[in-house]
Structure 1
Amino acid sequence: MSKRVMIVEDEAVTAMFLEHELTQGGFEVPHVADTGRGAITYAEGNPLDAIIMDIRLKDDVDGIEAARVINRGIPVIYHSAYADDETITRARETNPADFLEKPAPPESILASLHRVFARQR
């Protein structure tokens, strides 16, 4: 059974790219959310193995706050163009599995997911 990875990304082109790369890499992408609230709502009622999370999203709940609310032991890999000290500090408080700066190459994203799942074994 393939691992279920939710993508939380408000840029449609980036979301489609990530979904394609993850699917080609053998992962299942059951949901793509473009808002923090949408990510929280989906995560509450559905099993997930990991989340690829952008930080700046379309609504008033950013990716860091969404990860904090979801916090059910689901590994979060931040994928963001925002890597300033304040953002990194806030993100660290959620104990992320990884932080990849955009644009991360597909190999880096897949490698990060494989590391996350290897640590779980």
Structure 2
Amino acid sequence: MKTKILIVEDESIIALNIKEILTNFGYEISGIAPNGEKALHLASTKLPDLVLMDITLQNREDGIDVAEQISKLRSVPIIFLTANDKNKTIDRAINIKPYGYILKPFKEIELKTAIEIALKTFEENQKLTSKIIEIKSENMSLQSKIDIDEQKKQRFIKLSHGYIYDNENFLLMFNGETFELNDKENKLLKLLIKNIGRVVPVEQIEDFVWDGEFVGEGALRSLMFRIRQKLPKDFITCHSKIGYQILGKFSKN
């Protein structure tokens, strides 16, 4: 498959000359755009593999700004073509990280070399980015597994007021006394402990405890009433119409 190149150049003679050069080198031309509006349209519809961008377009439109807009639309290598060799212009162009900067007039081989280098560099960057994403994903999966394994190891969780929660047998203990928790009470307590110090929204509690099933407002209040009978009065704080919260520090053994 031929490499597709978009030419953004307001001078038609120069644009056609570049098109002929690129065609002779075996590239496919995605289109010629004399201004930013058409350049953005062609970049998003023709999906070129590379963009050759003149810095000064029709009505003195700024090609650097257009290049920046294209970069926001999609990831594509951009090479600037310009007769402007002022440091200020070069510095502005560098800020958007182009894959090349060619001063006019240029030799045909210079253009081809710049294009091939840009395409190769872009390909390597894409591979590197994909690898980084893959590594991050693997690390997240590994961390998730570690967290689950650690949670399994942490059988006893020391809560405030001297209470201890048995994460394996779903028991609440205090001064040698054991309070057995049913499935929903256990889910509720585990969720609040996991988010200790933070207010857990009512919607999140209902979704977690009842596995996404719709329940009436009274169901959570009834559940909260039952579990509070087994805990100190201020152990679970209610934030009206917002959620519930366990305050204080705890440690895991």
- Relative to the length of structure 2, the TM-score reads 0.46
The match for 2:115 among 87, 103, 113 is 113
- Aligned mates of 1:81, 1:60 — CA distance in 2: 14
Question: Runs of 4 or more off by more than 4 Å in structure 1?
Answer: none
* Gaps in structure 2 of 5+ consecutive residues: 125-253
| Alpha-carbon offset, residue 61 of structure 1 | 3.5
Check whether the contact 2:77–2:119 (CA below 8 A) recurs between aligned residues.
no
| Higher mean displacement: 24-33 or 35-44 | 35-44
Could you tell me which amino acid in structure 1 is paired with residue 29 of structure 2?
A: V
Relative contact order (alpha carbons < 8 A, sep ≥ 6): 1 or 2 greater? 1
| Alpha-carbon offset, residue 118 of structure 1 | 2.2
- Aligned mates of 1:76, 1:61 — CA distance in 2: 17
Check whether the contact 1:53–1:76 (CA below 8 A) recurs between aligned residues.
yes
1:66-117 deviations in Å (ceiling 9; x for gaps): 1100102210000100121111111011100000000111110111111122
- Aligned mates of 2:80, 2:60 — CA distance in 1: 18
- Residue 39 of structure 2 aligns to a residue in which SS? helix
- Aligned mates of 1:92, 1:41 — CA distance in 2: 24
- Residue 51 of structure 1 aligns to a residue in which SS? strand
- Residue 75 of structure 2 aligns to a residue in which SS? coil
Larger helix fraction of residues: 2
| Alpha-carbon offset, residue 59 of structure 1 | 3.7
What value does the CA root-mean-square deviation take over the aligned residues?
A: 1.2
**Structure 1 equivalent of residue 148 of structure 2:** none
Count of residues paired in the alignment: 121
Check whether the contact 2:5–2:29 (CA below 8 A) recurs between aligned residues.
yes
Instruction: Mark the structure with the bigger radius of gyration.
Output: 2
- Aligned mates of 1:46, 1:29 — CA distance in 2: 10
- Relative to the length of structure 1, the TM-score reads 0.94
| Alpha-carbon offset, residue 60 of structure 1 | 5.6
* Gaps in structure 1 of 5+ consecutive residues: none
1:82-121 to 2 correspondence within 5 Å? 82-119=84-121, 120=123
- Residue 29 of structure 1 aligns to a residue in which SS? strand
